Structures are given as C-alpha cells and as structure tokens.
Chain A
Amino acid sequence: MLELSRITAGYDRRAPVVREVSLTVGAGRSVGLLGPSGCGKSTLARVAALLHRPDSGTVVIDGVPVRGWRHRAPREQRTAFGVVFQQPRLAADPRMRLADLIAEPLRATGRRDEAAAAVAGLAGRVGLSRELLGRRPHEVSDGQLQRACLARALVLRPRWLICDEMTAMLDASTSAALVAAVETYRAESGAGLLAVGHDSVLLNRWCDETVHWDELPRESRSGV
C-alpha cells in the first residue's frame, strides 16, 4: 500500500499548491489521477515518489512511514519508485547516450555488472533498436527518448511506478506502446501504479480506478 495522508506541499510555504490531500494506492493496483494543468497533481506525484518534501502530512509505503525525502530517504526506499516524467528532454541528461541513461540507476547503486544485460533486455521491451541506444538525447525524437526514460524507470525493478503525464507529449502509437510496456512489467512484477494525467479516456482504459483531483478526500479523512 502506498498511503499519502493529509499532504500539504508546494514551493512556497505561504501558498501551498497541494492542501491537505489524501490518496491511497493499493498493492499491485493502478490508480489514475485526473486533473487540469496546474492543479498540483504533479507535485503530489513528486511527494509520492519521495522527490519533494511536503510541508505537512505523512507518506506510508507498505506500512513503513517515510521519514525523509530525496537524499534523506534511504536508498532502498527511493529506488522502490520508478518515475517517468512528462518532458523526456528535461528528464534526460543531455550528455549521456541512451544506453548509459538506462543503465545509470544500476551504476549508481553499485550494480555495474548487470548493466549490459539489463539494457539489452529493456530496450527490446520498450521498442528501442540497438542503433538508437548509441545516440544522445538530441539525436532522437521525443517518443524514442521517452521510451528510454521508461526503461530507466524500470531498470531497478521498482515496486511502484509513478507516471507523471508520461504520454502527454507523444503520438497515439507511442503512447500505446509505452502503456503496454508498463502493463507488461506490472503483470509480471505486481508493481503498483500511480498515473497522473488530464486525458480521462486514456486513464480510464489504463487504470483499475481513476479519481479526479477535485474528488480526492481532504481534511481529516484519509484513504480513497
């Protein structure tokens, strides 16, 4: 279970973007979070992925309460989440070749030896050719780069996937391929999913349940 309760978060304490919001994703479940641009759903996703420390509220992952965010979170907790961002251009280090981009989490966690095999396996799953793996981000399209970013999110075999508007910049066939790759991974690993977006048709088809931002429980209650 991924439980976020009474989260207040933002970039300025006097004007939080997210106020007292609660959200729960059951183990192995997929939840789609719908909302208009700028409502704070991405911020909530960042809080859930341990990338943004909330001003108040608690996050509990499989019964273990989170005590720190970003580097203050233990590595096992941070790497339990695979995150895919909206804009692949900004989410990829422009100096790294796609193969290095995908292998980077393995190298960062001291599992360098597994890199070659993992990259080859994941490239096939997300539909990247061998030739593309040798290119740098500015030499591939947004769709190809997002495929690499999804592979990077999956390379540590996370228990949770957070997809923040993963397909917003992409055409329909690439979107379908990426969603299929996510679902294949979830089917074999039993990972939970929080998909954030504003495309209700996509999220309704993709997720076990969808919830609109305005319908999230506020104030003292918790759980969806």
Chain B
Amino acid sequence: MADPRTRTRMADPRTRTRPRTRTRVSAAVTAAVVLAVLVVPFAVPLDEQAVDLAAKLRPPSWDHPFGTDEVGRDLLPRSVYGLRVSLFVGVAAALAATVIGTAVGAVAGALGGWADRVLMRLVDLFSSVPHLLLGIFVVTMFRPGVWPVVASVVVTHWLSTARIVRAEVLSLRSRPYIDAAVSGGASRWRVTVRHLLPAVLPQAGLAAVLMIPHAIWHESALSFLGLGLPTHQASLGNMVQSARGSLLAGDWWPTLFPGLFIIVPTLAVAGLAGAWRERLNPRRRSELSL
C-alpha cells in the first residue's frame, strides 16, 4: 500500500500536467504587487500625504492616473502605500496566527487528555465571539496603529489553524511509525518535534497563505470602521472610508481604485494558495476555504 502523501504527487495527472492559467495569473499579479510595495516607495519619491486643495477630486488623468481624493491627494501613491500597509498587516498577522495556532494544535493533539480538552474549549470560546467584535475589542484597548490591528487579526485567526493542526496530529498519532518512535525510546517532545510537526508543516503553511487575504480584509474592515489605522495614514480601508461621501456625489475613482487594490491582490494570493492546496492533496480540494 502506498503512502497517501507520496501517491498524490505522483499519480494524479491533473496536478502535474494541466497548465493552470489561474495559477500563472495569480503568480504574476502577486509578484507585481510585492514588487510594487517593496520598490515603488523607495524608487519614486512621491509624497502620499501631500495635500493640494486646488486639485481636489480630479478624475483620472495623465498627471494623476488614479485621480485625486477630496483633499487633492494623489490616489496612485496613496493606494500603493495603503497596499503596503495592508500586505504588511496580512503577512505579519498570518505568520503570528499560524505559529500560535500550530503550537496550540500540536500540543493539544500530541498530549491529548485534559490538555486537549482545555485548549480546544479555549478555541471554542474564542470562536463563539464574532470575529469582528473581538477584533474591535482588541484594537480599542490600544492607541491606533499597525500593531494593534495585527494583534486583533491574530487573536481572531489562530483558531482555524489550531483545529487543522490538531486534527492532523490526531490522525498521525495513531500511525505505527509513531508507535515505533515511542518503542525506540523517544520522549513526548521528540515525537512531537521530529515526527508530528514536520508532517503538519505543509498544512500549516497552506493555512498561513490562505490567511493572508483574510487578514487584509480584516484590516480594511477595521480601518473602514475608523478603528484601524489613524486616518491620516494611507490604508486601503481608510481610503474607501473617506471616499464614501464623494461616491454619492458621483465621483467613482476614490472608491474604485483602493477597492480594486483590496480585491485583486487578495484574489491573487488566494489563487496561489489554491494551487498549493491542490498540489498538496487534490482530493481535499474543498476542505480549506477562505
């Protein structure tokens, strides 16, 4: 009998041969986004906070490809800076949430018994509060800034990873190779670190990538509610929030471009994560979803 992990890579022809347009487009867009947020702020010395009241609410033109907002700030550099903040929050929060979730899930799964029950009830407790409400609670405890937003996303997003990792560890724990390690004198710690964690890392990594778009949306939602970053700081949520008034007056560009900057990169990252998921396990395509 072949090990299921090796079988999925070798035997499923779909994952190897079918050219995936979605994957390529996602990869190209993600690369462009990462390049933009890393290079543009340094290469092009545009001031994303420069106010020009004489040029307020200009529609897109050669001078201002994305137009200007209600106080005359150029929307193109502002959107890039906003995307930068959003991506930073997304990646930092996804990483931290994955580390916490993996640790909790691995401990619960590997120890079992009381530790498992207590930790999983803790996860249930956190899940029983609506995400946004808990997130708002966390950000309101601190001064506005990037880190409280990251913390709020982490507090609400480590739960699913903990569940996934625990389930995976539980199914691995009854494998004969774990029995063999126990019989070979391995301590609990060694069994967990050397045999269980390496086996769940691909799943945890996938969960982390899937979490990035989620975290970006969470940041935008908090900023849109006025609870995220300070209003002067360019953030996609802030920009959509302040553009609401002009949208009703018929000026569509201050909403459209930041909105697209939220939607397109998140779809691209989600597309990449989807491709990774299918590579890992084509039969479990529907299990982890955004």
Which residue from B183, B185, B190, B198 sits with its C-beta under 8 Å from A49? B183
Q: Answer whether A83 and B179 are a contact pair too, CB < 8 Å, given A95-B198, A156-B185.
A: yes
Say yes or no for A67: interface residue by CB 8 A criterion: no
Q: Answer whether A78 and B195 are a contact pair too, CB < 8 Å, given A83-B179, A85-B176.
A: no
- Whether B179 contacts A94 by the Cβ 8 Å rule is no
Say yes or no for B2: interface residue by CB 8 A criterion: yes
Spot the interface stretch: A55-63, A101-109, A191-199: A101-109
Q: Answer whether A94 and B5 are a contact pair too, CB < 8 Å, given A46-B179, A149-B180.
A: yes
Say yes or no for A200: interface residue by CB 8 A criterion: no
Which residue from A51, A89, A138 sits with its C-beta under 8 Å from B182? A51
Say yes or no for B184: interface residue by CB 8 A criterion: yes
The interface centre, meaning the residue of B3, B5, B180, B188 with most chain A CB atoms within 10 A of its CB, is B180
- Whether B185 contacts A75 by the Cβ 8 Å rule is yes
Nearest CB of chain B from residue A89's CB, rounded to whole Å: 5
Contact with A along B163-190 (1 / 0, CB 8 A): 0000000000001110111111111101
- Whether A108 contacts B3 by the Cβ 8 Å rule is no
A70 and B187 CA atoms in complex are apart in Å by 10
- Whether A108 contacts B183 by the Cβ 8 Å rule is no
Please name all residues of chain B whose beta carbon is closer than 8 Å to the beta carbon of A95 when the two chains form the complex. Answer: 198-199
When C-beta atoms are compared, the residue in chain A nearest to B7 turns out to be A138
When C-beta atoms are compared, the residue in chain B nearest to A137 turns out to be B3
When C-beta atoms are compared, the residue in chain A nearest to B172 turns out to be A93
Nearest CB of chain A from residue B283's CB, rounded to whole Å: 18
Q: How large is the interface on A (under 10, 10 to 19, 20 to 34, 35 or more residues)?
A: 20 to 34
Nearest CB of chain A from residue B233's CB, rounded to whole Å: 45
Contact with B along A116-156 (1 / 0, CB 8 A): 00000000000000000000011000000000010011011
Nearest CB of chain B from residue A9's CB, rounded to whole Å: 15
Considering the complex, which residues of chain A in the window 34-81 have a beta carbon less than 8 Å from any beta carbon of chain B? 46, 49-51, 70-71, 75, 78-79, 81
When C-beta atoms are compared, the residue in chain A nearest to B190 turns out to be A108
Please name all residues of chain B whose beta carbon is closer than 8 Å to the beta carbon of A92 when the two chains form the complex. Answer: 177, 180
Please name all residues of chain B whose beta carbon is closer than 8 Å to the beta carbon of A94 when the two chains form the complex. Answer: 3, 5-6
Which residue from B177, B184, B188, B198 sits with its C-beta under 8 Å from A71? B188
Which residue from A93, A138, A152 sits with its C-beta under 8 Å from B195? A93
A213 and B180 CA atoms in complex are apart in Å by 24
Which residue from B180, B186, B194, B195 sits with its C-beta under 8 Å from A85? B180
A156 and B183 CA atoms in complex are apart in Å by 10
- Whether B183 contacts A78 by the Cβ 8 Å rule is yes
Nearest CB of chain A from residue B170's CB, rounded to whole Å: 14
Say yes or no for B54: interface residue by CB 8 A criterion: no
A91 and B174 CA atoms in complex are apart in Å by 11
A79 and B181 CA atoms in complex are apart in Å by 10
When C-beta atoms are compared, the residue in chain B nearest to A136 turns out to be B6
Q: Answer whether A91 and B177 are a contact pair too, CB < 8 Å, given A108-B190, A137-B3, A138-B3.
A: yes
Say yes or no for B1: interface residue by CB 8 A criterion: yes
Known pairs A90-B3, A105-B184, A108-B186 / 13 extra A-B pairs, C-beta < 8 Å: A46-B179, A51-B179, A71-B187, A81-B183, A83-B180, A85-B180, A89-B1, A89-B2, A93-B195, A94-B6, A104-B181, A105-B186, A152-B180
Can you show 13 pairs from A to B with CB atoms below 8 A apart? A50-B183, A70-B182, A79-B183, A83-B183, A85-B176, A85-B179, A89-B2, A91-B180, A94-B3, A104-B181, A105-B184, A108-B185, A155-B184
3 closest A-B pairs by beta carbon, nearest first, are A105-B184, A108-B186, A91-B176
